[in-house]
Amino acid sequence: MRIAKRVAIGAVLLVAFGVSGLMCARVGERGRYVGAYSTFGAGPEGTRGLYLLAEEEGARPQRWAEDLGRLPAGGMLVALGGCEQLMRRELGRIEREHLEAWVRGGGTLVVAGVPDYLSRELGVELVPAVGQCQATEGLIAMLDRADGRRQQRKRESDEEDTEVEDLPGMFQDDPYGTYDEVVEEGELAEARAAVGASPPFEGIPLVGMREPLGIRIDDAALSRSTLLRLDGPDGEAAGVRVDLDEGQVIVLASSSMFLNRDLASQNGGILFSRLVAAHVAAGGGPVLFDEFHLGVGQRRSLM
């Protein structure tokens, strides 16, 4: 009798663990446990939609989950970033040297909203304005900004809000739910319209960019063209292409329009499709989404 009871209990536990494992795997597959800008992410701050667009364009997309020492010749590396990032890995000196050599050998580097990949050797930089959100500011600064918004709301309302002092405990109890709450409760910056200025973006609908950074060309002798300009009297560059030997660097002032939440509403999908279609038409190699430096690497799950 005892043996039968133990066997029954063991069977129940085995089934329970199996169901739990399946649920965790499915949740991980949906991209629930990944950071912002990851192509594994199906939530508002993810970019899975971008990956699917690259597939539709026949660009042979890949998720790059290692350092930049072995990038395929002629490929396009897509580097995304912004204020929602928490787990970013920095590029090392050797990686930067490999990246420059890869671009000069015929690679295409697309950098949207994240300064890390750019250097004086590449001839172009992304520069935040004074007081502007840094693209890699991390968790502490994000919480400070969230607390500032809460304090403002408390001055305008008698309703009680969660204090920033409560957040460490909240992150310990439910890290992913708390992150979603902090990000989703924050007021999104207003999108600024950008206008296509030259191929492949000429004639596209206005593209909405949130918190665009400044673009600075370090070497005036470099061959370059302005791809996007912010709509307005000043018309600052919001997208440029710099040619380096056989390759090129394409810099966009923001990557917010590539997030799932903005891909359609801010015309980020049209922008990216034009970019990838031009790359494919020119006989370029696979489109690589850098997951490694987002801190994600390979697919995340609870297993």
Whether the CB-CB separation of 139 and 230 falls below 8 Å is answered with: no
Residue 224: inside a domain: yes
In tens, the pLDDT along 247-278 reads 999 999 999 999 999 999 999 999 999 999 99
Residue 66: CATH number of its domain:
3.40.50
My answer on whether 70 and 124 are in the same domain is yes
My answer on whether 209 and 275 are in the same domain is yes
Position 27 confidence tier, pLDDT thresholds 50, 70, 90: very low
In tens, the pLDDT along 168-190 reads 666 567 665 665 555 554 567 88
Of the candidates 156, 185, 214, which is a domain's last residue?
185
Residue 33: inside a domain: no
Tell me, what's the pLDDT at 198?
A: 94
My answer on whether 196 and 125 are in the same domain is yes
Residue listed under structure tokens 């190699």: 285
Burial 110-139 (b: 16+ CB within 10 A, else e): bbbbbbbbbbeebbbbbeeeeeebebebee
My answer on whether 124 and 149 are in the same domain is no
Strand order in the sheet with 62-64: 62-64, 287-290, 76-80, 108-112, 247-252, 237-244, 223-230, 191-196, 207-210
- Looking only at the bridges linking them, the beta strands covering 287-290 and 62-64 are parallel
- CA separation (Å) from 125 to 85, 119, 129, 285? 19, 6, 13, 25
Burial 175-200 (b: 16+ CB within 10 A, else e): eeebbeebbeebeeeebbbbbbbeeb
Which of 187, 273, 255 lies closest to 37, judged by CA? Answer: 255
Whether the CB-CB separation of 249 and 107 falls below 8 Å is answered with: no
pLDDT beyond 50 at 299: no
Mean pLDDT is lowest, of 13-22, 41-50, 264-273, for: 13-22
My answer on whether 167 and 196 are in the same domain is no
My answer on whether 274 and 147 are in the same domain is no
My answer on whether 90 and 124 are in the same domain is yes
My answer on whether 53 and 125 are in the same domain is yes
Of the candidates 169, 185, 201, which is a domain's last residue?
185
My answer on whether 111 and 206 are in the same domain is yes
Distance CA 136, CA 139 (A): 9
Tell me, what's the pLDDT at 60?
A: 95
DSSP 69: G
> Around Cβ 295, how many Cβ atoms within 10 Å?
14
My answer on whether 269 and 148 are in the same domain is no
Residue 79: inside a domain: yes
pLDDT beyond 60 at 218: yes
Residue 223: inside a domain: yes
Of the candidates 168, 185, 202, which is a domain's last residue?
185
pLDDT beyond 70 at 233: yes
My answer on whether 96 and 215 are in the same domain is yes
Residue 43: inside a domain: no
Mean pLDDT of 138-163: 51
Angle of CA points 82, 163, 42, to nearest 5°: 35
Residue 157: inside a domain: yes
My answer on whether 63 and 168 are in the same domain is no
Mean pLDDT of 192-213: 95
| Tokens coding 42 | 């199906």
What's the whole-number average pLDDT of the chain? 79
Number of domains in the chain: 2
Residue 58: inside a domain: yes
Structural domain for 101, as ranges: 48-133+192-294
- In this prediction the pTM is 0.74
Tell me, what's the pLDDT at 54?
A: 96
Higher pLDDT: 245 or 24? It is: 245
pLDDT beyond 50 at 216: yes
Beta-carbon contacts of 264 under 8 Å, excluding residues fewer than 6 positions away, are: none
Residue 36: inside a domain: no
Give me the numbers of helices (H) and strands (E) for the chain, helices first please.
Answer: 7, 11
Tell me, what's the pLDDT at 146?
A: 52
